[in-house]
A = this chain, B = another copy of it.
């Protein structure tokens, strides 16, 4: 296997942390967007959307989308379980992972894409939308603070892919000036907990 990677991308980081938590070592190949490598024909043959990450299997099969890559690794390397152990647990992990992705990570990606000067001229930016996403992501963090009261991780007391999604979202948040407000004690305690894991810098 090999992993086509984009080091600063939150989606690529999700997969790298997942791989590290599984104790796997998968060689990574950084794709240089600045040089247009992701739009070159050989990369588009792996993922026609030109996005990273992509997991390439030994037979050449390519799996794009971080959620799909994590699912493949979970099935082929079940321990430690990062997506739950029973049908109900797996549904709960999936529910929380989706919430972390759709309610927090995706809005922060939009803050980045629509307000950061790095994207000026690369795609159409709608600053008003970026600012609305900033506000929405902060609202969801406040909601989350109540939800996780009394538990160590996003889903009960087991570290899971839902934690990975949120920790990667918050790393991006820092880069775009969305920080967890001080008064959100539960989210701040949670972040200190996950940031202390040896895999957090993967």
A: residues with CB less than 8 A from B are 48-49, 57, 61, 63-65, 67-69, 71-72, 75-76, 87-88, 90-92, 94-95, 98-99, 103, 124, 126, 128-129, 132, 143, 146-147
**Contact across chains for A68 and B91 when beta carbons are under 8 A apart:** yes
Q: How far is the CA of A76 from the CA of B68 in the complex (A)?
A: 20
Contact for A65 among B64, B98, B146, CB less than 8 A: B98
Contact for A98 among B68, B88, B95, CB less than 8 A: B68
**Contact across chains for B143 and A49 when beta carbons are under 8 A apart:** yes
For A128, the closest partner residue in chain B by CB is: B126
List 19 additional A-B contacts (Cβ < 8 Å) besides A68-B91, A72-B90: A49-B99, A49-B103, A61-B88, A63-B91, A64-B95, A65-B98, A65-B99, A68-B94, A68-B98, A71-B90, A71-B91, A71-B94, A72-B88, A72-B91, A76-B87, A124-B132, A126-B126, A126-B128, A129-B129
A169 to chain B, nearest CB (A): 15
Q: How many copies does the complex hold?
A: 2
Main SS class of interface, A: helix
Could you name 21 residue pairs across A and B whose Cβ atoms are closer than 8 Å?
A48-B143, A61-B88, A63-B88, A63-B91, A63-B95, A64-B95, A64-B99, A65-B94, A65-B95, A67-B94, A68-B98, A69-B91, A71-B91, A71-B94, A72-B90, A72-B91, A75-B87, A124-B132, A126-B126, A126-B128, A129-B129
**Best-buried of A48, A88, A95 by chain B (most CB within 10 Å):** A95
Q: Which residues of B contact A146 (CB under 8 A)?
A: 48
A42 to chain B, nearest CB (A): 18
For A64, the closest partner residue in chain B by CB is: B95
For A93, the closest partner residue in chain B by CB is: B68
Q: How far is the CA of A61 from the CA of B156 in the complex (A)?
A: 14
Q: Which residues of B contact A76 (CB under 8 A)?
A: 87
Q: How far is the CA of A65 from the CA of B100 in the complex (A)?
A: 11
